[in-house]
């Protein structure tokens, strides 16, 4: 199991949404085929077969907002 697989399992498990690092979640999104567009602190991820744009913002300390991890999981 590679590092991306480990990160993906952490996101999908739902046990530690508050503990997911922002850079790690961005790597997972890119590995899943999402294209990243950045404007300021907002990172938008798009993919042709996904209707919604997934917007992520880092918290101070390099973590991801827990509700955004939940959105990625869904």
What is the predicted pLDDT for the residue at 35? 96
3-73 has CATH 3.30.920 classification: yes
What is the predicted pLDDT for the residue at 1? 67
pTM of this structure: 0.86
**Are the CB atoms for 36 and 45 separated by under 8 Å?**
yes
Distance CA 74, CA 35 (A): 18
> Which burial class, exposed, middle or buried, applies to 33 when counting CB atoms under 10 A from its CB (0-12, 13-18, 19+)?
exposed
What is the predicted pLDDT for the residue at 54? 92
Distance CA 9, CA 61 (A): 22
What is the predicted pLDDT for the residue at 11? 87
Question: Mean pLDDT, consecutive 10-residue segments, the chain of 74 residues?
Answer: 84 86 92 93 93 91 92 87
């Amino acid at each position: 199991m590679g590092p991306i697989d480990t990160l993906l399992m952490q996101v999908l498990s739902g046990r530690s949404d508050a503990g997911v690092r922002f850079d790690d979640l961005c790597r997972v999104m890119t590995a899943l085929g999402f294209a990243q567009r950045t404007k300021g602190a907002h990172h938008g991820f798009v993919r042709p077969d996904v209707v919604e744009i997934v917007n992520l913002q880092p918290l101070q300390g390099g973590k991801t907002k827990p509700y955004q991890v939940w959105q990625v999981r869904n």
